Structures are given as structure tokens and as C-alpha cells.
Chain A
Amino acid sequence: MAQTQTVERHTIAVLVDNEPGILARVVGLFSGRGYNIESLTVAEVDAAERLSRITVVTSGTPMVIEQIKAQLSRLVPVHKVSDLTVEGPHIERELILVKVAGTGEKRVESLRIADVFRARVVDSTIESFVFEVTGSTEKLDAFINLMRPLGLVDVSRTGVVAIARGPKPL
């Protein structure tokens, strides 16, 4: 069987029981088997049912991506594994908080760019701002790169959350 060796980036959503150790199980699976994690987010999404949703962005050859999905599905507390990248259109978002320190023209310029990116100022002092921005990974990378020469001193980033378009749930 012909298999391509090209490395692809996939966003995978995993619905799991919210129980102690579940994150360690998933992370241990990736490190133990040598899979990449580009980003990983997790939070409870259904308190009544004790379900958490993990969104993991990973990369690998098609065969490795299939393995990752099969290995995740095999974990006992996993309810569902969904490869958003292959299952149709979906939306990916990240949130960042960016701290820019400085005064004068650079400070004004940072505000201008923030406006273009529809960033919100969530904290400010005479010599600093904290911006909050949401968007795709690429947009946030661009924002960070623009802020760097303008006094960027700190970044905190959520990693990707994602959901399929259309009416159907996971």
C-alpha cells in the first residue's frame, strides 16, 4: 500500500471522563510513543456528565496520525476521538495575553496595531499595556511578531480550541 511520508498538522478533539490522571494519561501517551504535541488544551465542558474536552494539535505522517487516533481511542476513559482536520470545516481559536512595556512613540504604535487586530486592552499602567487577542494561531503569531520590537515583555497563550462548523455535535 502506498503511503505518503509527508508530515501533516492535525487538530484532534477528544472527549474524556473528567477524572484524576486523565491528562497525564494523554500526555504520557504522546511522550511515551514519541508523538508531537504542538498545543494541548483541556477543560471540563459538561459538569453534570463529568466530561472534559481535550483539543490537541499534533503533526505526523498519515500513518502516525492514524496511530495517534487509535491509541487515544484505546484509553479506557476516552469517549470519542474526532479528527477535525479531516472531518470537514472547523474553527480554531486561541487566546493570548500580551504585555507590552514602554513609553512614547512605541507605546502609541502598539495601541494602533492592537486596534487593527481587534485586541482589547485589559490592563494598563503609565508604562505598560496588557492586550487580549483571540484568533487563529497564524493571526496571534503575527500579532506577537509585530509587538516584539514595540516592547513585548511577556506572553501567555491558551493553545488551540476547536469546534466543527454546522449543527452537529462532536
Chain B
Amino acid sequence: MADQPMTGSEVILKALVDQGVEVIFGYPGGAVLPLYDAMFKQNSLRHILVRQEGGAVHAAEGYARSTGKVGVVLVTSGPGATNAVTGLTDALMDSIPIVCLTGQVPTHLIGNDAFQEADTTGITRPCTKHNYLVKDPKDLARVMHEAFYVARSGRPGPVVIDLPKDILVGAASYVPPERVKHRSYKPQVKGDLRKIEAAVEMMMKAKRPVFYCGGGVVNSGPAASKLLGQLVHLTGFPCTLTLMGLGAFPASDPQFLGMLGMHGTYEANLAMHGADLLINVGARFDDRVTGRLNAFSPNSKKIHIDIDQSSINKNVAVDLPIVGDAGHVLEDLIKVWKAKQPKIDQKAHKAWWTQIDQWRARDCLKYKPGKDVIKPQYALQRLYEAIKDRDHYITTEVGQHQMWAAQYLKFEEPNRWMTSGGLGTMGYGLPAAMGVQIAHPKALVIDVAGEASILMNIQEMSTIAQYRLPVKVFILNNEYMGMVRQWQELLHGGRYSESYMESLPDFVKLAEAFGAVGLRASKPDELDGVIKEMLATDKAVIADILVDKTENCFPMIPSGAAHNDMLLGPGDESGKPADKSVSEEGMVLV
């Protein structure tokens, strides 16, 4: 087989199959027609035709994040490639493994401003983990296999392969994946054992420890989440998760403090602030988590476990860095902990938990229930009650609804929660849900959406129709870019500049226009019925939930404030109300 003459397109398809790829999300065009032609003649790969290339990348992200596999994208040159840029950046920020094949004008035309030419490797260099321009057919198979290795190993990320059209049609020879070894790229997965021992020593001595864990645990694979659970239980320490880490530790576990950060829980943020030891596993001290850096967890020693050396000491100087894969390091930590049979300071730990329980008693996610109007938090609580016993996956758009989903939906397992964390890309959720549903045809897949975000990739309803995907879109419709409105209320004197969504479509009719079912709830007593009907429908549904237009998302640490400077909601009588004061320094922060 390897000796038979093959075209470049055939080599690409064979490499995809040998890499275990089953699904490609893509959109054709002149530069990639030979590849589409070769695809027409085979049955091993399924192609999902999206409606805009941006949708293809987010769909591949949803597919990747819910399966742990590499998501594959195929787009044409020029506008096809530039449309993919947002998705690539999103995947880079959230460490999602993607291989994106882009068409390119033939090699002899590169640099001539040819029709649909763009400098794709130039444009995508800063928004990919790595990229390639294949100019010689003999490199093609190697580059394909290398790209998959780079995308999924180490800290995962997106890789672009730019494919001039003459490479697709010319003769090329195939090399199987086993014969490809990378020359320079060798990520470190095992942590330094001496440092792991030192970490255990620090953990044994801690009086107010907290595990602070993130997407790195999810990316390491489901085994890492199991190991994290074991270690947290062995030690008895509290555990908080970042937005990207939700599901890595069960939300129902009594040792879970909820999410931390800007819209994290009171107990999680105050535990971070009051801790004497942070054990960071696979999180990156993002500014949404740390708040004001010079007031971040001021009295703690910090252990940082990360597969990416460059995440260490980037924002926060740590005392003990351990470079390695979360799963491997957790396994070693458990071994060493068990071997040492540590005697921890029971009295101190008891006092720490007593303190945490006091913080918890503030019940920071409490909100004033609505009589005639649906509170968004209530809508999500009812949704969760209805889905918690079903096999379900959640995606979100970006805004208040996203933060409420993170707060009020509970995640018991990893890979169940897909959200755009680092880039905060409105329009992510619908195509991501599509990708999740392709990977898990039988599961319940819900995009928790805002009415503004959903319009950013609404064209994908057409893809959903074509492949009969029963995706559910649950819109918390506040007729505002709620998160923008909230910042304008708190920071800009209530001047709601351009944040009101005028001329919204009728989402019920919109659903029907795409062959889906449209439902609407405008009063609290209609909510359960709509949720029930949505879940009972085996087609795609858009549920337009009209919620309180002026509800704000609390708790909130305003930009530039410290963890102990949290604004609590108006429902919290015991705490200080949102005093709307933000430092000048904070005003310039995003």
C-alpha cells in the first residue's frame, strides 16, 4: 500500500485515519477541492458541513473537550482560514487539542496576492501552538503525524497545517505514524520526585491548606480527576476549581468549595485569601482568578503543578514549582503521602474547616426569588433538577448566563462542561454543543445561552438541522448584553451605552425556521413545563426563557480588587451590599 503512488490528498486522509480520526468539521472552497474530492471516494471519515468556518473550530473544540480526542477542522484558503482564527485563539487559550487543515494557493503563486490568498501561517502563528506550511510533498505525511502529536501532548493546543493546492494534487508518499519522531519537542510528563516529596512535606505541615485546580486536570484525562479525588479525600483538605476545571472534582462532595475567582463563591475566595498553603494543580493563576495580584493569597506558600513551564512564576511567584502532567504528579503525590503516613495538625484543620463552614453559611449564591418574573438563577436550578439524573453535557456562550451556569449547575465528572474561558468567545456554545452531540449522539447536550451571544453563530442551527442533532438551546433572555450592562451599572454610572439588544428575533419562530422546536417561558409557573417539554423533544429545541432583565451576577470581585473585597448580592442581608466602588487602577482592567 505504501508503495502505491498516492496523491497528497490521499496521504492526508490516510494520515487522519491512522491518527484515529473519525469526524472532520469543515467547509469547502477552491483551494481544498482536491481534498474534498478524495473524501468523496472514501467511507472512513465523516465530514460535518458547518455553516461558517468559525463554527467548525468551536464544534471541533466541543468534540475534543468532551472526548479527550483531537478535534479536526478543514477549511479553504483566504477567508476560510481567517474565519477560523477566533476558534484557534480560543483553543490556544483553553488548551484544546485541534488540528486545522487550511487550503492555500499553489506554491508558485504564494506571495502574489493570488485569489483567496492569505498569509495563513503568518496570521495564525501567535494563535496556534504550532503551524506548518507544507511546500514539499515528501514532508506531508510527517507533518500530519507531527501535528497530531504536538496538538495532543504536553499542554494541548491548536495546530494549523497550511496546504498549497499543488501539494494536494501532486504525488506524495505515505509514512505511518510510528516512523515519525519529533526532533525537538519532548514535553515533560513525570514530575521531579524530590520536589514531590517536598510538596508532601509542605502539605503535612499546613494548617490552612487548599487545593486550587484547573483545566490541566481535565486535560490530563479522566484518571487524573479520579486521582485528584483520592488525594483530596486522603488529605481532608478543601478543594476549589477554576471555570475550566469544573467537573475535575465532584461538585456534590462536602470538600468542594465551589468555583473561585471573579464570580466564584465566598468560601472559595476567602479560603484562597486565608490559606497558608495553596496546592495548584493544572491552573494558571489567571487574572480572573487572582484578582489584585499584590493582595492574592498573601500568607500562603504556593505549590504549582503544571505541564507548561512557562505558566510557572508568570503572574504569581511560587515556592515549589513541579513541571509535569497533572495525572502523573497526582499519582506520585498519593504514593508519597501514603508512604509517609503523615500526622497532620488535627486541631488546626478542624479550626480551618470551622472557619470555612462559617463562610459557607453566608450562602453567597442566595438570590431574591421572583414572583412574576423568572430569575435566571432559578431557571438554571430548575434545569439542573430536571437533568441531573440524565447523561448530560453543558456548553455555554459568554456573559452572565455563563457565570450563573458555572455557579448553579453542578458538575460531577470531567469533560461534561465546555465553555470559553480564556478568550471568552461569544458564539462558542452553539457550535461547541454541535460537536459534543456528534461525539455523543445519545446524550443530552444543552447550550446555556444569552440572547446576544446566540446570534453570533446562529447559522449553525442549519448544520444542526442537516445532521438531525437534538441539541437544546436554553436562552436566558434578559434582552441585554447582561454582563456588559452589569459592568456599566457598577462602573459607569448606569450609562447603558449600546448594551440593550433591540430588534431581537422571535426565537420561537427562528427555531421553527431552522426546523427545530421553539418554546418560551415568561412566567415562573411556565418554566418547569417548558423544561419538561424541551427534554422530551427528540429534536433540536430553542427554549426562550424570558428572565429578569436587570439581575446581576454575584458574588463579584471587581477588577483590581482583592479576594476579600467581594461584592455580595442584594439578597445577602448579613454582608456588605455591592458598594459599587472600584479603584481607578481597576477601571482600566478588563
Contact = CB atoms under 8 A, between A and B. Distances in A.
A78 B184 CA distance: 6
B185 A76 contact: yes
A163 B13 CA distance: 46
B254 interface: no
B309 A70 contact: yes
A79 B318 CA distance: 26
A66 interface: yes
Interface stretch (A17-25, A36-44, A130-138, A143-151): A17-25
Interface string A91-108: 000000000000000000
A67 B314 CA distance: 6
Contacts of A76: 129-130, 150, 182, 184-185
A17 B183 contact: yes
Contacts of B319: 1
Interface string A24-62: 110010001000000000000000000000000000000
A74 B309 contact: yes
- Per DSSP, chain B at the interface is loop
Contact of B184 (A3, A17, A21, A28): A17
A3 B317 contact: yes
Interface stretch (B120-128, B343-351, B381-389): B120-128
B313 A67 contact: yes
A79 B135 CA distance: 23
Nearest to A21: B121
Interface residues of A, number: 22
Contacts, number: 49
A67 B133 CA distance: 28
A63 B313 contact: yes
Interface string B7-44: 00000000000000000000000000000000000000
A86 B290 CA distance: 31
B296 to A, nearest CB: 13
Contact of B309 (A21, A25, A32, A73): A73
Nearest to B310: A70
Given A21-B125, A28-B126, A74-B308, A1 B317 contact: yes
A71 interface: yes
A93 B182 CA distance: 33
Contacts of A21: 121-122, 125, 131, 133
B312 interface: yes
Contacts of A16: 184
Interface residues of B, number: 23
Contacts of A66: 313
Contacts of A74: 308-310
A32 B121 contact: no
A24 B312 CA distance: 25
A70 B309 CA distance: 6
B184 A25 contact: no
Interface string B304-342: 000011101110011100000000000000000000000
A1 B183 CA distance: 36
A16 B183 CA distance: 10
Contact of B125 (A28, A70, A71, A78): A28
A70 B188 CA distance: 13
A78 B133 CA distance: 17
Contacts of A20: 133, 135
Contact of B183 (A67, A75, A79): A79
B310 A67 contact: yes
A68 to B, nearest CB: 9
Contacts of B133: 20-21
A74 B310 CA distance: 7
A25 B184 CA distance: 15
A94 to B, nearest CB: 28
Contacts of B318: 1
B130 to A, nearest CB: 4
Nearest to B149: A76
A16 B130 CA distance: 14
A76 B155 CA distance: 12
> Which of B129, B130, B135, B184 has most A Cβ within 10 Å?
B184
A137 B133 CA distance: 37
A49 B187 CA distance: 21
A73 B187 CA distance: 10
Contacts of A78: 184
Nearest to B128: A76
Given A71-B310, A76-B184, A32 B317 contact: no
A77 B309 contact: no
B183 A32 contact: no
Interface in B122-146: 122, 125-126, 129-131, 133, 135
Nearest to B146: A76
Sort A-B residue pairs by CB-CB distance and give the 8 closest, nearest first: A70-B310, A76-B130, A1-B317, A70-B309, A79-B184, A76-B185, A71-B310, A74-B310
20 contacts: A16-B184, A21-B122, A21-B125, A24-B122, A24-B125, A25-B125, A28-B125, A32-B126, A63-B313, A63-B317, A70-B309, A70-B310, A70-B312, A74-B308, A74-B310, A76-B129, A76-B150, A77-B183, A77-B184, A77-B185
Interface of B: 121-122, 125-126, 129-131, 133, 135, 150, 182-185, 308-310, 312-314, 317-319
Given A73-B310, A74-B310, 18 more contacts: A1-B317, A1-B318, A1-B319, A20-B135, A21-B125, A21-B133, A24-B122, A24-B125, A63-B313, A67-B313, A67-B314, A70-B309, A70-B312, A74-B308, A75-B130, A76-B184, A77-B130, A78-B184
